[in-house]
Each structure stands twice: as structure tokens, then as C-alpha cells.
Amino acid sequence: MIVEENKVVTADYVGYFPENKEIFDSSKAEGRQPISFLIGHQNMILGFEEEIMGSDIGEKRIFTLDPERAYGHREEDRVLQMERGQFPDDLEVGMQFEAAVQGLPTPFEVIEINDSEVGCDFNHPMAGKSLTFEVEIISIRDPVDEELAHGHVHGPGGHHH
């Protein structure tokens, strides 16, 4: 069996920034486990899925995604000014919040604060960055009907949402 659309893939991975090899995420970190996801259902960034397509169990791949195939480029129109009164008194640069944007929860980071306004960055924190992944395919299986219908993998014991 190979990695293809509508397969459940379990993989170990290390993700790092190619320019300095700084690790930003890893399934091998303490307390972490391999990830499982359903291919073709936007559970992973598109470039990640594209790069592992056709892999077999035990296969290892190393690849770098440019921003277009990862989290996109930074968009300056996603940096907005909000009224200072909408935030707690102990507000600090770097704090993260969530706002409803078109009815969907959307995270943002506080990037500047003055007496009347707060600069809020709604870009993904990794927007504009190239990302390198080292991936090993641990297992590949067909999804159960419920996983396919829901578009994502269910944990041990089934449906938990």
C-alpha cells in the first residue's frame, strides 16, 4: 500500500527552518507521538501531502516547502489595528488571542500596543517561511467509513468530537 488520496497515514516527522536548522515541530519530541491524518482532506499543509504521495511504509523523505506550498506569504492587509479597550489591562506584545472572523475562530498575535490601539497580526505565524521536513512513513491504511465521512482520522476508540 502506498500514500495516496483517502488513505490514513501515520508518520514520524521533524520540521525545521532550512536557513538555521531550528526545529519548530517534531513528533519525536518528548511526550509526542507520530501523527495520523487522512490524505486529501486538508488535514496537513498541501505541500506536505504532495511530497509524501507515492511513499511506502518505512520510506523516508526529506523536502523543503517554499511559502507558497506551506503557509503562504505574509499579507500586510492581515495586520489590523484594534481599539485598546477591547483587551485586558495586562496586555503584552507577543500575546495571542482568537477573534471571530466571518464566524470562524481566527488566531492573532499582538505585535504593538499604544494608548489607543493594538496592532494585531492575523497572518499564520509561519507565513512567509520555508519549511524543511524529514518524514518517515510508519503505516498506511484505509479509513473507516466514519473517518472518510468526517474527513479526518479518529483516535483510539473512534469518534471524539
**Domains within the chain, CATH numbers bracketed:** 8-71+126-150 (3.10.50.40), 76-121 (2.40.10.330)
Q: How far apart are CA 2 and CA 113, in angstroms?
A: 50
Q: How far apart are CA 109 and CA 74, in angstroms?
A: 13
Nearest to 8 by CA among 154, 126, 132, 118: 154
Q: Give whole-number Cα distances, 150 to 6, 45, 143, in Å.
A: 12, 18, 11
pLDDT 10s digit of each residue in the chain, 161 long?
Answer: 999 999 999 999 999 999 999 999 999 999 999 999 999 999 999 999 999 999 999 999 999 999 999 999 999 999 999 999 999 999 999 999 999 888 889 999 999 999 999 999 999 999 999 999 999 999 999 999 999 999 999 875 444 45
Contact (CB, 8 A) for 38 and 152: yes
Provide the H-helix boundaries in the chain.
46-52, 145-150
